[in-house]
Amino acid sequence: MSTAADRAAQLDLVARLRSSYPELPDAPPPDLLDHDRFTAYMKPVHDVGGEPDVPMKYENKEYEYWEHMTYVMCEVLAWRGIWLSEERRRIGNVDVGRAVYLGFPYYGRWLLAVARVLLEKHHIGLTELAERMAEVQRRFAGGLSGRTLTAKPAFEGDGTQVKRNSHVVHALGKGDPQVYAGRAGEPKFAVGDPVRVRELPVLFYTRTPEYARGATGRIAALAYESPAPEDETWDRPGAEPEWFYVVSFTMAELWHGYNGTATDTLRTEIPERWLEPVD
């Protein structure tokens, strides 16, 4: 079982990971890659909570039109059953790898996720995407010169044969997570129960933050029933809903060397599979 100091040390280790650890050769032989570094490489890169960082100036920036259009396109793709938003989160926030995750603008990653899902689910081909991009580049060669940036589809396609998920049918008029209500059975934990967050091996995706894994907290509320992100992010057929809990942690126990007060707390939501009782 990890301690708060162990967890802080692991976050320090992750923070130094760029594309690879400089102390190791590229593509190291397996005997040079220890468990902690294996874990750092496999860490879903969106999980930045608690990684060391220094203050920066917080500022707004002009919201560019393509950013707004990218947000809208992602939401419309989910609305029309092309993906679950949980698929978008994995594809755009994790599958991109650390270099693109930290190197790209926020909505740049959303946009890459659109291209990725349309290709992986065979809605478009990479060649036609590249040809269309080249055509758009030609259309706007020399800049906008006062023109408006406008999409000009050649025609409106017939969408009746497009493969869509069933979520948009089932959730209609109910909402999500309400569509899963009453399907997870009896909750294993009750409000007030002390729980420990399990330290399951993590490959590819989870929404249980690294900073909480191995830590002990208390059930603050039963949240809802839903498939766990590990299943939902692949829209896995037959994924069963389970209970989610709001778990409260005391900051001074969660963080090695916490310098706030003894009463400060943090709450986060964790699915049942990640929790075990504390004797």
Partner 1 sequence: MADHDHDHDHDRTVKPMVDEVTDFEVLEIALRELCIEKGIFTAEEHRRFTEFAEQIGPTPAARLVARSWLDPEFRALAIAEPMTASKEVGVDWLEPTGFGTPSDFTAFEILVDTPTVHHVIVCALCSCYPRPILGNSPEWYRTPNYRRRLVRYPRQVLSEFGLYLGEDIEIRVQDSNQKHRFMVMPMRPENTDGWTEDQLTEIVTRDCLIGVALPRAGVTTNVVVATRPAVHPVGE
Q: What is residue 46's three-state secondary structure? A: coil
Q: Quote the Cα angle for 86-92-98, to 5°.
A: 125
Longest dimension (CA), the chain: 70
Distance in angstroms (rounded) separating the CA atoms of residues 102 and 96 = 10
Closer Cβ to partner 1, 9 or 251, answer by number: 251
Least separation in angstroms between CB 227 and partner 1:
10
CB of 170 to partner 1, least distance (A): 9
Q: For partner 1, give the closer residue by CB, 24 or 76.
A: 76
| Rounded least distance, CB 105 to partner 1, Å | 8
CA–CA separation, 98 vs 93, rounded Å? 9
DSSP structural state of residue 16: T
- Rounded Cα distance, 212 and 254, in Å: 7
CB 1 to partner 1: min, Å:
21
Choice between 35 and 138, CB closer to partner 1: 138
What gap in Å lies between CA 273 and CA 235, rounded to an integer? 18
Compute how many other C-beta atoms are within 10 angstroms of the C-beta atom of residue 17: 16
Task: Compare residues 29 and 55 and give the one whose CB is closer to partner 1.
Answer: 55
Q: How far is the CB of 74 from partner 1 (least distance, A)?
A: 7
Q: Which residue has the tokens 């916490």?
A: 258
Measured from the CB atom, the residue of 196 and 249 that comes closer to partner 1 is: 249
Q: 198: which residues sit within 8 A by CB, 6+ positions away?
A: 213, 273, 274, 275, 276
Q: Which token pair is 123? A: 């809605």
The 3 state secondary structure assigned to 140-196 is: CCCCCCCCCCCCCCCCCCCHHHCCCCCHHHHCCCCCCCHHHCCCCCCCCCCCCCEEE
Give catalytic status of residue 21 as yes or no: no
Q: Which of 63, 65, 106, 211 is catalytic?
A: 106
Q: Please list the active-site residues.
A: 106
